[in-house]
């Protein structure tokens, strides 16, 4: 249901309809391909119109009722000639594409039944083709076009490698709010003429098709298409963007899924000759265009013989391209929109092909992501490659920090070979043929690829709480050094961004990863309004509320507290998580499912006073082995950040709370006293600043040093 909700949001917030130029994005770029596509499409249209013409000359099933449909004007003699050709589309010299006469008749029957079906957008009671019949009609038309193109391309030197259009269905369905979805996918594949018993799956599909019975169901078709296109991104590591189709009655629309928007074409009504012509041209273009125009990444290739992926990485520093062999896909994208981050464990491809199967090369992690080049809502540039290069150069000589941050090996923007040469891969490159006014509505993202070492393991592979405490100490030591010496703030501490690796003796070392949301501290100070970034359950209160208080290292330390609260409640590995099932209904779950405002309110409540922290958090920490130390660490970290006795009361807690919450809890909001004790860390801060978060932000470095001291103390004890 969360995936369905995501699909609904994608359509409601990200759909741009009736984009005339979206079909231009499917045209071949190369001149020879493009001219061939134009000529082939015209020929296929003639064949199709001939078949329809002949069908109209016959009675409907012997009932005498004639079907009506708009058909291109063809002379009877031309129609008969074309129909005869179309009836046996496969050439005698191309046995791989030949079908029996009975198969052709069945194909034509389904095709005609769909094309000649008149859908009514105004009267749902009008007799209509059922969705399975529409699906058969689409399959027939795709097959018709595919066979015709195969014949025409067989002896044509301008297009020697022919994609073969085909369709397949999955026996999977979902149902929600009385809307039943039958999954139906179109696959454009290379037909080699060989037989195989392998059943196609999402990884084989070039695009998805959403079928509905009536034209009025267009929104539901969009929603389903967004739902199943997400699976395409998940199963295909070489997917840059995706196409899709909706078919509501006889109305077909093409959709282009970028990373923040869906661009839908104008309607192609296959009951009209113009609609069929445009649809056939589109299918022809998809058959003949370059792979990167279909949404594939030519810099990620699958070697069918060696059964592995090869990945090219361009290094912007040396301006050289390195090739790697993927050994494992560590992380895959699982959403329709967004960064689509993928991580691959790989090794550099050896110069000697005979060594390609040798797995004894050093392992690296390749991160592939579509990132915003600037922070949303600001003009502050973000460049993870540049950040990692600075971190590497600044901290390389500090042996105490080795392995606590990802060392950059190579990285830069992905390079795509286009008709005009090599181009940086961006959203704007994908939409280069789209009208400028439409492109302006789509946020631009840049496609980056980064090679790093060492390869880390996720937290759930840890063996004990002691190991967790050790890696937390390492991670926060790296975080502090990066902030102080490189001037960079991470801003997205989460369970997934804390990794570890083991040494030869089995010891662990923590590693802070993913600097995609990082920002220069100096740039943040100049932001008019701090932006909201991070992972919802672990975001700081100020971040969740998008408050005007400047972001500091304390926001990341606050995120660390929430990470440890989460792990303490739900466990770090499967054994812990099995014992945590009894607390699945705790309010802390709302950190993941509630709105940003609701999560912020809950965190204010839990962190404000120690009594609340004990009641809502500490008493629900698991009682498994080692978790008592985690409980102690959380107690001290919370006290150091929110209840530090060395700061005035106006710099403690999480007040002022939202008035409605304070009333509901029976809490009177007290007058904030003016600091008077000369020992307070915030003694020099303007007394007029009464916001506790703002006061702490002014002494962020001092408090962060004390928080670091806490984690180092617990780390050393865990090692004993």
pLDDT digits (tens, 9 = 90+) for 369-412: 999 988 665 667 889 999 999 999 999 999 999 999 999 999 99
User: Mind listing the pLDDT tens digit for each residue in 253-287?
Assistant: 999 999 999 999 999 999 999 999 999 999 999 99
| The residue count for the chain | 720
Mapped onto helix, strand or coil, the DSSP state of residue 377 is coil
Give the mean model confidence (pLDDT) for residues 64-84: 47
Least confident stretch, 47-56, 558-567, 659-668: 659-668
Q: What is the pLDDT of residue 38?
A: 95
Peptide bond into 656 cis (omega under 30): yes
Q: What is the pLDDT of residue 419?
A: 74
CA atoms within 13 A on the CB side of 215: 16
User: What percent of the chain has a predicted confidence (pLDDT) above 70?
Assistant: 79
Q: What is the pLDDT of residue 48?
A: 92
> What is the rounded CA–CA span in Å between residue 230 and residue 8?
12
Whole-model pTM? 0.86
**Residue 77: pLDDT over 60:** no
Q: What is the pLDDT of residue 361?
A: 81
Q: What is the pLDDT of residue 58?
A: 66
**Residue 113: pLDDT over 80:** yes
User: What percent of the chain has a predicted confidence (pLDDT) above 90?
Assistant: 57
**Per-domain residue ranges of the chain:** 2-294, 297-455, 457-640+698-720
C-alpha distances in Å from residue 565, one per residue of 465, 597, 618: 13, 19, 8
**Residue 127: pLDDT over 60:** no
If you write DSSP's letter for every residue of 586-628 in order, what string do you get? SGGGHHHHS-HHHHHHHHHHHHHSHHHHHHHTGGGS--STTHH
**Residue 326: pLDDT over 70:** yes
Q: Alpha carbon 647 to chain centroid distance?
A: 43
At a CB cut-off of 8 Å and minimum separation 6, what does 493 contact?
Answer: 479, 512, 534, 538, 556, 559, 560, 563
Question: What phi and psi, each to the nearest 5 degrees, are found at residue 522?
Answer: -65, -35
Confidence of residue 119 (pLDDT cuts 50, 70, 90): very low
Taking Cα atoms as reference points, which of 99, 112, 162, 164 lies closest to residue 141? 112
If you write DSSP's letter for every residue of 280-328 in order, what string do you get? HHHHHHHHHS-GGGTTB-TTEEEETTTTEEEEEEEETTTTEEEEEEEEE
Least confident stretch, 77-81, 91-95, 425-429: 91-95
**Residue 194: pLDDT over 90:** no
Computed on alpha carbons and rounded to an integer, the radius of gyration of the chain in Å comes to 30
Q: Alpha carbon 666 to chain centroid distance?
A: 44
More confident residue, 352 or 631: 631
Give the mean model confidence (pLDDT) for residues 198-218: 83
Computed over every residue of the chain, the mean pLDDT equals 84
**Residue 225: pLDDT over 80:** yes
More confident residue, 99 or 257: 257
> Under a CB-based contact definition with an 8 Å cutoff, are residues 206 and 168 in contact?
no
Give the mean model confidence (pLDDT) for residues 157-186: 58
Mapped onto helix, strand or coil, the DSSP state of residue 397 is coil
Give the mean model confidence (pLDDT) for residues 26-54: 91
> What is the rounded CA–CA span in Å between residue 249 and residue 268?
11
Q: At what angle do helices 465-486 and 384-395 cross, to 10 degrees?
A: 90
**Residue 21: pLDDT over 90:** yes
Q: What is the pLDDT of residue 121?
A: 41
**Residue 324: pLDDT over 60:** yes
Query: Which tokens in the block code for residue 312?
Result: 């090219």
Confidence of residue 470 (pLDDT cuts 50, 70, 90): very high
Taking Cα atoms as reference points, which of 123, 219, 135 lies closest to residue 171? 135
Give the mean model confidence (pLDDT) for residues 40-44: 94
More confident residue, 165 or 327: 327
Q: CA angle, corner 221, sides to 219 and 223, nearest 5?
A: 70
At a CB cut-off of 8 Å and minimum separation 6, what does 432 contact?
Answer: 25
Confidence of residue 358 (pLDDT cuts 50, 70, 90): low
**Residue 339: pLDDT over 70:** yes
> Under a CB-based contact definition with an 8 Å cutoff, are residues 525 and 697 in contact?
no
Q: What is the pLDDT of residue 69?
A: 56
Question: What phi and psi, each to the nearest 5 degrees, are found at residue 565?
Answer: -60, -45
> Under a CB-based contact definition with an 8 Å cutoff, are residues 311 and 324 in contact?
yes
Q: What is the pLDDT of residue 706?
A: 97
> What is the rounded CA–CA span in Å between residue 153 and residue 160?
7
If you write DSSP's letter for every residue of 6-30 in order, what string do you get? HHHHHHHHHEE---GGGGGGGS-SS
Question: What phi and psi, each to the nearest 5 degrees, are found at residue 527?
Answer: -70, 130
Which is the CATH superfamily of the domain at 457-640+698-720? Transferase(Phosphotransferase) domain 1 (1.10.510.10)
User: Mind listing the pLDDT tens digit for each residue in 608-617?
Assistant: 989 889 988 9
Q: What is the pLDDT of residue 115?
A: 82
**Residue 54: pLDDT over 90:** no
Query: Which tokens in the block code for residue 617?
Result: 């958090």
More confident residue, 417 or 538: 538
Query: Which tokens in the block code for residue 321?
Result: 């391209």
β pairing state of 163-176 and 342-348 = unpaired
More confident residue, 379 or 51: 51
User: Mind listing the pLDDT tens digit for each residue in 561-601?
Assistant: 999 999 999 999 877 765 555 556 787 888 988 899 999 99
Least confident stretch, 246-255, 257-266, 458-467, 531-540: 531-540
Give the mean model confidence (pLDDT) for residues 143-156: 83
> What is the rounded CA–CA span in Å between residue 38 and residue 285?
8
Q: Alpha carbon 534 to chain centroid distance?
A: 15
User: Mind listing the pLDDT tens digit for each residue in 619-637?
Assistant: 999 988 899 999 999 999 9
Q: At what angle do helices 627-642 and 596-608 cross, to 10 degrees?
A: 90
- Among left, alpha and beta (phi > 0; psi -120 to 50; other), residue 340 is left
Give the mean model confidence (pLDDT) for residues 67-93: 44
Q: What is the pLDDT of residue 669?
A: 39
């Amino acid at each position: 249901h969360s995936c369905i909700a995501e699909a609904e949001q994608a359509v409601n917030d990200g759909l741009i309809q009736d984009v005339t130029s979206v079909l231009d994005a499917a045209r071949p770029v190369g001149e020879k391909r493009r001219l061939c596509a134009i000529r082939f499409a015209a020929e296929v249209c003639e064949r199709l119109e001939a078949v329809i013409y002949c069908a109209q000359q016959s009675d409907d099933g012997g009932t005498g009722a004639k079907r009506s449909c708009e058909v291109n004007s063809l002379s009877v003699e031309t129609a008969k000639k074309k129909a005869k050709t179309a009836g046996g589309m496969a050439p005698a010299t191309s046995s791989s594409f030949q079908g029996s006469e009975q198969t052709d008749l069945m194909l034509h029957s389904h095709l005609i039944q769909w094309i000649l079906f008149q859908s009514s957008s105004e009267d749902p009671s009008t007799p209509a083709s059922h969705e399975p019949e529409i699906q058969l009609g689409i399959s027939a038309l795709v097959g018709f076009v595919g066979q015709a193109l195969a014949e025409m391309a067989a002896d044509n030197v301008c297009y020697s490698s022919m994609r073969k259009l085909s369709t397949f269905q999955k026996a999977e369905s979902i149902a929600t709010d009385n809307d039943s979805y039958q999954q139906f996918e179109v696959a454009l594949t290379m037909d080699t003429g060989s037989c195989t018993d392998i059943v196609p799956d999402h990884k084989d599909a070039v695009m998805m098709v959403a079928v509905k019975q009536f034209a009025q169901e267009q929104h539901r078709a969009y929603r389903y298409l967004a739902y199943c296109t997400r699976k395409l991104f998940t199963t295909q590591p070489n997917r840059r963007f995706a196409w899709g189709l909706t078919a509501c009655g006889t109305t077909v629309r093409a959709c282009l899924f970028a990373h923040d928007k869906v661009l839908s074409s104008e309607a192609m009504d296959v009951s009209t000759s113009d609609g069929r012509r445009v649809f056939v041209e589109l299918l022809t273009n998809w058959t003949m265009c370059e792979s990167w125009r279909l949404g594939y990444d030519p810099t990620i290739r699958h070697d069918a013989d060696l059964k592995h992926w090869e990945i090219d990485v361009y290094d912007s520093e040396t301006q050289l391209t390195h090739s790697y062999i993927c050994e494992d896909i560590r992380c895959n994208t699982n959403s329709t929109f967004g960064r689509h981050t993928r991580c691959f464990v790989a090794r550099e491809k050896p110069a000697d092909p005979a060594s390609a199967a040798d797995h004894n090369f050093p392992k690296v992690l390749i991160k592939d992501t579509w990132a915003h080049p600037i922070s949303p809502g600001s003009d502050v540039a973000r460049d993870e490659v540049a950040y990692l290069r600075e971190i590497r150069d600044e901290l390389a000589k500090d042996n105490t920090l080795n392995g606590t941050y990802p060392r950059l090996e190579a990285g830069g923007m992905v390079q795509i070979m286009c008709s005009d040469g090599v181009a940086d891969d961006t959203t704007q490159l994908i939409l280069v043929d789209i009208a400028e006014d439409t492109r302006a509505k789509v946020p631009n993202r840049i496609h980056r690829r980064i090679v790093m070492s060492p390869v880390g393991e996720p937290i759930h592979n840890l063996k004990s709480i002691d190991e967790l405490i050790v890696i937390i100490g390492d991670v926060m030591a790296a975080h502090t050094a990066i902030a102080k010496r490189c001037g960079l703030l991470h801003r997205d501490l989460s369970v997934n961004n804390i990794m570890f690796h083991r040494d030869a003796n089995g010891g662990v070392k923590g590693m802070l990863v993913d600097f995609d949301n990082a920002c220069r501290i100096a740039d943040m100070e100049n932001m008019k309004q701090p932006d909201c970034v991070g992972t919802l359950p672990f975001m700081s209160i100020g971040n969740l509320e998008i408050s005007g208080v400047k972001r500091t290292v304390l926001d990341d330390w606050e995120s660390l507290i929430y990470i440890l609260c989460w792990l303490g409640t739900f466990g770090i590995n499967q054994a812990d998580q099995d014992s945590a099932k009894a607390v699945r209904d705790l309010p802390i779950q709302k950190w993941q499912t509630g709105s940003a405002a609701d999560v912020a309110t809950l965190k204010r409540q839990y962190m404000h006073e120690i009594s609340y922290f004990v009641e809502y958090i500490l008493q629900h920490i698991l009682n498994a082995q080692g978790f008592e130390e985690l409980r102690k660490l959380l107690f001290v970290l919370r006290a150091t950040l929110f209840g530090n006795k060395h700061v005035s009361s106006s710099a403690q807690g999480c007040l002022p709370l939202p008035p409605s919450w304070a009333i509901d809890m029976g809490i009177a909001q007290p007058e904030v006293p003016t600091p008077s004790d000369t020992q307070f860390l915030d003694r020099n801060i303007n007394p007029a600043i009464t916001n506790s978060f703002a006061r702490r932000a002014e002494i962020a470095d001092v408090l962060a040093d004390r928080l670091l001291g806490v984690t180092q103390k617990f780390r050393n004890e865990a090692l004993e």
